[in-house]
Structure formats: structure tokens, C-alpha cells
Copies of this chain bind each other. A is one copy, B any other.
Amino acid sequence: MKKEEITILGAGLIGTLMSIYLRKQGLPVKIYDKRPDMRKSKRYEGGRSINMALSHRGWKSLEEVGLKDRVIPLAIPMYGRRIHDEHGGTSLIPYGKEGQAIYSISRGKFNQLLVEEAENLGVEMLFDHKCEEVDFRDQTIHFSGPEGNFKKEAPVIIGADGAYSSLRMSMQKQIRFNYRQEYISHGYKELTIPATADGEFAMDPNALHIWPRGKFMLIALPNPDKSFTCTLFLPFEGTKVCFDKINDAGDLKSVFKAFFPDAYELMPDLTEEYFKNPTSALINVECYPWVQGHSLLIGDASHAMVPFYGQGMNCGFEDCRVLNGLINKYGHNSWDLVFEKFQKTRKPDTDAICQLAMENFVEMRDTVADPKFLIRKKIETKLNELYPKDWVPLYSMVTFSDMSYSEAYAQGQLQDSIMRQVMADPLITENWNRLDYEEIINKMETAKAV
């Protein structure tokens, strides 16, 4: 039986990884992307892409398709959050156990590697092709491309076309499609801390740097060229520090000198970059169903999340792995069943990580600066050392395991209710090392049994 061609929309990280999975199954794959070929353009050279943090789920998929070793050289391990206070002092909060890290990687080179690998495996790539509309009655796609508009039959479509997905836009016009897009009140702007004059990193390269300032923050991730990509998150408008209130070099300087004095010293191009780079918005997208006929949404197209848990790409890569597993299980001609199983099993997980990403923004910009947060981290680390199976901190379940996001979320809720009780002790700062750790674990067991 002839295998049906699979059409993927979007040659980003998720679309290309999915194409690699499918080619390894022996399936014919074509990818269309509205953007020009990244190898011929400069679109990734800064301005709008937050550096990403590759963690366990992402690596697991890369390993499965045999790409892990080729990605490692592009990635820089970050073992913890380095917190910068207002006076330039810093402290490190480890992400997990010794040796556990998330990996800073920049989108451009990573995407290029995946595009090349896909092409080498026989995936046909068509850039500059915009999907205008998908007609689900006859599974056809209307494209506009360099040779004008045309219509193409596509028996199986996978939409990996991102937060502004055009496949999803067509689905939205179908009856009984539930959809939600929500912008948060903060925007972001990319800035740079370049390498020092003698070509070295200007700060500790093996950490994710955070300047948490309550309602806003600055972060910085290392790059292989020894620069850091910084991202400034501010409210768009308001009465205090916000994008609307920074209108000239003077405003900018006074904000940075007051709140990020150590970073300011390391940013010679601050003013130029700030006023040249766009201020971008942050969207959360949830929808359901993800399937319409033989068309399926994956990645940001079905669940775009805010970037504060560092899981957008990792979750999308896990989508690819889960979908590949279902194709393995049900075969190459059971798309109805595969797609239905995929959306049913995966939706609760992506809902959970979208929610966690939203909640983690408060942690990153505010809670990490609270001394009590450090105490809580220490208690949870110790619980994990003493009872490695019974207490894995939420961050670790999400970042360093492939436990389902929804299970991690549920366990995290339990942990949180117990830790609130523990932290209510007014002497916790002195006593944290002398707690009855077994009792805490017992509470967890009791709560789970309920």
C-alpha cells in the first residue's frame, strides 16, 4: 500500500523535528514555511528570539532521533539561577542536584541544524510558501508562493506553524472549536551583554542570570560566542517602570542605573539596542480539538505558552515524541485513531504546562528575591536527598524528568499545600535544618491517599 504524503506546515524547531521522526518511519514528508530559507536570510540574528533552555524532555527526543551529540556543541549548561540584587551582589540557586542543568541554546543555529538533517533524510522543504487557508471538506491547502497562488491536496496535515498558526485559524472557523488567546500585561525586549575586550564571558557563563525586581525583571543567557542574550520584561503600561515610560536615553539610563547597575556596566550598546529592537508581546494560546479530519495541530500552534518555565520548545519536542510513539503503535494508515489518541492524552499535559508557565513568571520576577524562597528551596532539596522517590521538587519533575506535566502539576499542588504549612513556622529561618522531615513525607503520603 502506497504511503500517504504528510504535509507539515512550519519549518521551525517542532516542524523539522517532527519531519525527522516521520522520515525515520519511512514516511514521505513535505514541509511548507511562509518564511524565507533561514540559511539564505539573516532573520535569526537577534531582535526577537528569546534564547531557549533545552532540558530533559527536549534532549530525550533529540536522543531518540540520534541528534543529541550534534546539538551538544551548540548548548551551554546552566546549573542554576544566578540572582542579582540591586547593589550588584549575586547568589546562585541550583536548579536541581549536582550536575543537573538546563542548556542555553540559540534558536538560529539549532533550527538550521534540524533543517539540514531533515533535508538529508529526504524531507522536501518549500520556503516562501504561505498557507492561506485549509479546506477540511476535501483536505486541500491554499498556498501563496513565489509562483503565485495554488491549491494542493494534502491527505495528512500537521500544523507546526506556531502561535499564529494558519491551520488553527482555519480550524477556528469550524463549528465547536474552542479557542482562547490571551496576552499578558508584560512585553519583552532583547538586549545584549557582549564578550569582554579580551574575548571572555562578562559574567558566570554556567547560570541563567536574573535581576528580579518584583513587577519586572531582566534575564541573561550565555551564548557560545561568549556574549549573553538578555531579555528585559516590563509591563507595557503603568505608573512605575514600564515600556511606555521609557522614551529617551535619559529615561533608560535612570532605570538601568537604579535597578540593574551591574548589568548596565556591561551593556555598551544598551541605548542603541533598546530603541532599535522591537517590544514584543507574550501570548498564551489554548484550544480544542486539535484535530479536524486528517489535520492536527502540534507545538505552539495548539498550546503557545509564556516563556517563564523554559518549556515551550521542550513541550513541542515531547509532542513529536508522543505522536511518533502513537504512529509506531497504530501504524501508518490509522490517522483518525492516532490523532484522536494524541489529542486526548496530550491536552491535559499541555494545559498543565501552560498554567505552570504563567505561574512561574511571578516566581522568577519576584519570589526568587525573597529569602524565604531560598529556605524553601533548601528544605525541598533536603527532602529530595532523604526521600528521592517521595519528594521530587516541582521544578525537577518538569525540567529533569519526563513524568507527564499533568501529574507533575498535581504533585506540585500537594507539595505546595504542605510547604505552606511548613513555612508558616515563624522560626523557620532558624529551624529549617532541624525539621521532622519524616513527618513532612508522611503528610505527603496521607494527602496522596485521599
- Of B164, B175, B182, B183, the contact of A281 (CB 8 Å cutoff): B175
Contact B176 A179 (CB under 8 A): no
Interface residues of A in 344-381 (CB under 8 A from B): none
Contact A180 B180 (CB under 8 A): yes
Contact A177 B172 (CB under 8 A): no
In the complex, the count of this chain's copies comes to 2
Q: Cα distance A180–B177 when bound, in Å? A: 11
Interface membership of A181, Cβ < 8 A: yes
- Least CB distance from A202 to B in Å reads 33
Choose among A176, A179, A236 the residue with the greatest number of B CB atoms under 10 Å from its CB: A176
Contact B181 A172 (CB under 8 A): yes
Supplied contacts A175-B183, A179-B182, 9 more A-B pairs, CB within 8 Å: A164-B173, A175-B281, A176-B236, A177-B183, A178-B181, A178-B182, A178-B183, A180-B180, A180-B182
The contact size tier of chain A is 10 to 19
**A interface residue numbers (CB < 8 A to B):** 164, 172-173, 175-183, 236, 281
Q: Cα distance A176–B173 when bound, in Å? A: 20
Q: Cα distance A447–B1 when bound, in Å? A: 72
Contact B177 A179 (CB under 8 A): no
- Least CB distance from A88 to B in Å reads 34
Q: Which residues of B have CB within 8 Å of A172?
A: 181
Q: Which residues of B have CB within 8 Å of A177?
A: 181, 183
Q: Which residues of B have CB within 8 Å of A176?
A: 183, 236, 281
Q: Cα distance A255–B181 when bound, in Å? A: 40
- Least CB distance from A276 to B in Å reads 19
11 A–B contacts from the bound complex (CB under 8 Å): A164-B173, A172-B181, A175-B281, A176-B236, A177-B181, A177-B183, A178-B181, A178-B182, A179-B179, A179-B180, A179-B182
Q: Which residues of B have CB within 8 Å of A183?
A: 175-178
Q: Cα distance A178–B179 when bound, in Å? A: 11
Q: Which residues of B have CB within 8 Å of A180?
A: 179-182
- Least CB distance from A249 to B in Å reads 26
Q: Which residues of B have CB within 8 Å of A281?
A: 175-176
- Least CB distance from A287 to B in Å reads 9
Q: Cα distance A179–B182 when bound, in Å? A: 6
- Least CB distance from A352 to B in Å reads 19
**3 closest Cβ pairs, A-B complex:** A180-B180, A176-B183, A175-B281
Q: Which residues of B have CB within 8 Å of A173?
A: 164
Q: Which residues of B have CB within 8 Å of A175?
A: 183, 281
Closest residue of chain B to A236, judged by CB? B176
Q: Cα distance A186–B376 when bound, in Å? A: 46
Q: Which residues of B have CB within 8 Å of A179?
A: 179-182
- Least CB distance from A111 to B in Å reads 23
